[in-house]
Structure 1
Amino acid sequence: MNTPDEKAFRSDLLKASFMLGELEGRWKLVSLEWPIALIDVTARDGLQYRLRFDVSNYPASAPTSGLWSRDQNAALAPALFPRSRSGTGRVKDVFRTDWTGGQALYLPCDRTALAGHEIWLQQMPSKAWQPSVGITHYLELVHELLNCPDYAPPAGA
């Protein structure tokens, strides 16, 4: 633990809000090899989606994450992405396979997604990156999506 950003991230992993999410089974830290963190988030049907976070320059810069395959140790195949029940909806909008090759989530709290979408800060301030809340905010938004009525498992599940 050498850098201030790593110290800040590790400190946030010890906050009650992060640990409560783990205890409740909403998410689980799988590994941390600075600056990459693998965190599983549980969907309403019990499927766990692994996110590969780049948390460099944390918390000053928002993290970025994409879906990650446990088996391949690579980006998750688009056929295994969560879907929207209706075919169009919030889940499909965030877990996009047609944007950045699915390498980042299309959320206002994601560093990659925010670039070029600064208007989101006014349109969706509650979903913007909040350094004072940290990684838990990002995880809560993803968990909410994976547990909303619009969520549908991947066609290949």
Structure 2
Amino acid sequence: MNPDDYNSHGMLRLPLWFWTILILQARTWLLFVMASASRQQGSDLLKLFYPDPQSFWRGIILGLPPALIFLLSGRRYLWPRLWKGAYWLLLAGMFVTFSLQGLGLWQSIDPPSLIDLVLALLDATALAYWLLSRRLRACFDTGQHLPES
């Protein structure tokens, strides 16, 4: 690996896809923040994407680990064991999210909306990247530091 691939603490820089996956997994939190910022249309915005309040709360709960890991990512050198466990926590969260989406699409009486299909496809792609990217896996390995010269 190139020395430019490491940050000032000697840890591998997180790839752009990591941040994209965090945003995708914390999408309910982002929508909640946007709805809170637009006070008048906020409840209409939430009802548009989450007509069922139960799915909103499920999204909030499943989006909590990615939101917390986003906050932890800037200080991952301080808590390396916690950071290493974050890989598995996000993997489990992505698997649960994708499974619940698949179950919801399968049990739905109505034909699935385009948004549901696109989100399921994006979640499947994120899960595949998470499992197959050696670079991303190396970012969570606490032993990956820049060699001292």
TM over 0.5: no
TM-score (normalised: structure 2): 0.24
Q: Higher RCO, 1 or 2 (CA under 8 Å, sep at least 6)?
A: 2
Larger fraction in helix: 2
TM-score by length of 1: 0.23
Which of the two has greater strand per residue?
1
